[in-house]
Structure 1
Amino acid sequence: MAATKIIFFGTSAFALPSLKALIRNDWVPLAVVTKPDESAGRKQVLTPPPVKEWITRITTPATRIPMIKEEIKTLQPEKLNEDFALQISHFKPDLFIVAAYGKIIPKEILDIPRLGVLNIHPSLLPRWRGPSPIQCAILNGDTETGVTIMQMDEEMDHGPIITNNKLPITNNKIIYTELHDSLAQLGAELLVETLPQWIEEKIQPIPQDNTKATYSKILKKDDGRINWSRPAEEIERMVRAFTPWPGTWTMWPSEKLYRIRIDQAVWEGEEAPIGSPGYIWQKEGMPLLVKTGKGSLAVTMLTIEGKKPVPAAAFVRGYPDIVGATLV
């Protein structure tokens, strides 16, 4: 049997375990499609996405891994247009595999490979379609999530399900990075288990129940702003879901207006004795408590914009007048 000609679409770190698993199992893609380099950091240095960075490293002669016998083309199209469709058609691909690519792939490109397009999505579809399913699982207090491999169509995360694997969320303190890494690894394992049967056309995909669909969205900086009238338990989930991006933040009107990012926190059932939501108080062993709409948020690590993260006790020593202030 001729080798299956695969093209891999992926950009972020979530895609890396799946790409590595393909190569380890001798499904070396002919090409990897990833988003263009972007400016990053305070100095706006042009930076390659994680997938490109890794592919460059493993295909450089000095660091090439044994499985790589031929060059893997890296494609970074600005637009997925007719020119790109023609370029990718020249590979005569059998299959596209997509993981955290970050762009909508149009139908004329989805129709190119003989075996269709598989997408590795970090939720149990149809729950949490869209670009931020991991954050939504934490934010909504889900007790279970997982990974779905679906056959892509032109609608967002809408195509029929090929297989999935559940992941119980037994740790109610799990943070985004931990859940992200667990799901990325689970997706890679599920992909290599499923691929042989898919290539042999032994799997019949099952349509999603669209009546049960829920949706996540592209997260923006403003999504991380805290509304202190919400319950402490909800705000604590927000901190775990939105670290590192978009961050969970608030404003402290002192002698000047400070933007403060809450990096770590736990929720307390105890109510503040006085004050309105956002009021900062203390009790023994807890140097920085914030009154909320229900209960208090015990902040353990925080950052003033432009500074380094510091523990709450050190922060209060440096900014003692924050106690008794009200965050907005």
Structure 2
Amino acid sequence: MGTPDFAVDILQKLIQEPFVNLKLVVTQPDKPVGRKRILTAPAVKEFAQKVGIEVVQPEKLKNNEEFFELLKEINPDTIVVVAYGKILPKEVLEIPKYGCINVHASLLPEYRGAAPIQRVLMDGKEYTGITIMKMDEGLDTGDILLQKEVKIENDDDILTLSKKLSEAGSQLLIEVLKNIESITPVKQDHSRATYAPPIKKEEGKIDWDMCAKEIYNRFRALKMWPGIFTTFKEKLLKIHDMEIVQDNIFDSRPNGTVVEIDDSSIIIKVRDGLIRLKLLQLEGGKKIGARDFVNGYKIKRGDVLA
């Protein structure tokens, strides 16, 4: 059971294992995407159909007798859940012989919830990890089967860190499945729990009063969605590439001020330093490099981004 690309990576590894007899893929329903609201299949569905695995997309799980009967007919040894996006009801949790196993992209009990990879990047952490957990009725509260720590590099973003974690998750999951009868579950220390709630679109709005590292961490965490943005001349301005020029310096100019323009970037003053903007997109326009943006939209030193 899974939905996004992160789950696809793990599904791909599972079907390559000779001892795994995969009977069914469960994913969320197709959803309208983009301005034109085009009905789009989840990444897991697209992959499963390509390799010829049966897919079901229940609108709901609770009190869904047709879905429960399908699972009972399959009679699985275990159900593997990877970023599915819904909490499983008790009726589903009780069906598999060895229970339902979740691959969660954090070192539980830290970062329980829907957006652990984005939140750990936004928080500027140096380490995260993968937890393989036996599911219960709570939100990522089940007993831990195995964990693995993963280092976060300074240049990691949502794409690179997701890839690292999916690879670690695949390896750990296969180890758990091979040794499911001998692994002793360990209860989580609930007093140490932290949470990673879903990302909201408004979190992509840049607050230039933040520190340089805070802004950069938000950029690398929200790169895929919703992206980060500000306003220029009362229009939405998306930032597609940026880097820190310098931090721990201070001057009296307002935060968000354009302080320098060079051949490849627009340099912005923030609370404790400078941020370099390299690839931009003004509302209604295309992604363009900083130099083309300067030439096309006449941004200049002293302008202030809101």
TM-score class, shorter = over 0.9
Q: Could you tell me how far apart the structure 2 residues matched to 1:73 and 1:246 are?
A: 32
| Counterpart mapping for 1:149-160 below 5 A | 149-160=132-143
Shift of 1:248: 0.9
Whether 1:127 aligns to 2:120 is no
Name which of 267, 280, 283 aligns with 1:305: 283
TM-score by length of 1: 0.87
Other structure's SS at 2:272 match: coil
Counterpart position of 1:64: none
Shift of 1:146: 1.2
Contact 1:287 1:316 in 2 (8 A): no
Shift of 1:270: 7.3
Counterpart position of 1:320: 298
Shift of 1:274: 5.2
Moved more, 272-281 or 123-132: 272-281
Give the residue type in structure 1 aligned to 2:229. Answer: W
Shift of 1:17: 2.0
Shift of 1:286: 6.2
Q: Could you tell me how far apart the structure 1 residues matched to 2:214 and 2:196 are?
A: 17
Counterpart position of 1:66: none
Deviations 1:264-313 (A, max 9, x none): 21122375765311111205566411111111211111221333222212
Other structure's SS at 2:35 match: coil
Moved more, 116-125 or 292-301: 292-301
Name which of 13, 28, 32 aligns with 1:35: 28
Whether 1:195 aligns to 2:187 is no
Whether 1:207 aligns to 2:190 is no
Name which of 230, 237, 240 aligns with 1:250: 230
Other structure's SS at 1:277 match: coil
| Counterpart mapping for 1:164-203 below 5 A | 164-169=147-152, 171-198=153-180, 201-203=181-183
Moved more, 317-326 or 186-195: 317-326
Shift of 1:216: 0.6
Name which of 126, 133, 136 aligns with 1:143: 126
Q: Could you tell me how far apart the structure 2 residues matched to 1:23 and 1:223 are?
A: 37
Q: Could you tell me how far apart the structure 1 residues matched to 2:117 and 2:192 are?
A: 18
In structure 2, runs of 5+ residues without a counterpart are none
Give the residue type in structure 2 aligned to 1:194. Answer: V
Counterpart position of 1:110: 93
Give the residue type in structure 1 aligned to 2:235. Answer: Y
Other structure's SS at 1:226 match: coil
Give the residue type in structure 2 aligned to 1:258. Answer: K
Other structure's SS at 1:149 match: strand
Give the residue type in structure 1 aligned to 2:195. Answer: Y
Name which of 264, 267, 271 aligns with 1:293: 271
Contact 1:302 1:312 in 2 (8 A): yes
Give the residue type in structure 2 aligned to 1:264. Answer: D
Q: Could you tell me how far apart the structure 1 residues matched to 2:284 and 2:86 are?
A: 31
Other structure's SS at 1:276 match: coil
Deviations 1:124-146 (A, max 9, x none): 11111111111112111111111
Whether 1:45 aligns to 2:38 is yes
Counterpart position of 2:62: 81
In structure 1, runs of 5+ residues without a counterpart are 1-8, 60-71
Counterpart position of 1:20: 12
Contact 2:250 2:271 in 1 (8 A): no
Contact 2:250 2:272 in 1 (8 A): no
Q: How many residues align?
A: 302
CA RMSD of aligned residues (A): 1.7
Counterpart position of 1:91: 74
Contact 2:228 2:239 in 1 (8 A): yes
Q: Could you tell me how far apart the structure 2 residues matched to 1:107 and 1:185 are?
A: 29
Counterpart position of 2:217: 237
Contact 1:240 1:264 in 2 (8 A): no
